[in-house]
Amino acid sequence: MSAPLAVTLEPFRKQLEGVSGQPQKTALEALHHTGLPDRRVEDWKYTSLRFLAGSVFHKPGKNYDSAKARAALAALGLAEGAVAELPRLVFVNGHFVADLSVTKGLFACSFYTADKAEPGSLVRSDREPLAALNTVLAENGVVISVPEGIDAGQVLLVSLGQADSDAVSYHPRHSVHVAKGGKLSLLSVQAGEGHYLHNPVTEVFVAAEAELRHVTLQAESDAAANLSTLYAQIEERGNYDSFVVGIGAALSRHEVHACLAESFAQVHINGVQRLAQTQHGDITSVITHAAPDCISRQTVRNVLDDRARGVFQGKVLVEQIAQKTDGYQMNQALLLSGQAEIDAKPQLEIYADDVKCSHGATVGALDDDQLFYMRSRGVPEGEARQILIDAFLEEVLELIGDETAREVCKTVIARRFPVSEEGA
Task: Tell me the C-alpha distance between 85 and 79, whole Å.
Answer: 8
Task: Tell me the C-alpha distance between 294 and 220, whole Å.
Answer: 34
Q: With a cut of 50, say whether residue 404 has pLDDT above it.
A: yes
CB 35 within 8 A of CB 129: yes
pLDDT at 106: 65
Least Cα distance to 184 among 236, 143, 140, 231 occurs for 143
Nearby residues of 296 by Cβ (< 8 Å), 6 or more positions away: 258, 260, 266, 267, 268, 269, 287, 289, 316, 325, 326, 327, 328, 329
Residue 249: C-alpha distances to residues 81, 121, 197, 277 (Å): 27, 29, 9, 11
pLDDT at 3: 37
Q: With a cut of 80, say whether residue 209 has pLDDT above it.
A: yes
| pLDDT band at 302; cut points 50, 70, 90 | very high
pLDDT at 4: 42
| pLDDT band at 1; cut points 50, 70, 90 | very low
Q: With a cut of 90, say whether residue 33 has pLDDT above it.
A: no
pLDDT at 122: 83
CA atoms 51, 55, 61, 65: torsion sign = negative
pLDDT at 112: 57
Give pTM, 2 decimals: 0.93
Task: Tell me the C-alpha distance between 340 and 304, whole Å.
Answer: 6
**Percent share of the chain, pLDDT over 90:** 79
Residue 91: C-alpha distances to residues 28, 192, 275, 347 (Å): 25, 11, 25, 36
Q: With a cut of 80, say whether residue 47 has pLDDT above it.
A: yes
Mean pLDDT of 19-45: 87
Q: With a cut of 80, say whether residue 262 has pLDDT above it.
A: yes
- Amino acid making up residue 181: G
Least Cα distance to 216 among 244, 241, 242 occurs for 244
> Dihedral, CA atoms, 308, 286, 220, 187, nearest 10 degrees?
130
CB 24 within 8 A of CB 120: no
Residue predicted with more confidence, 181 or 11: 181
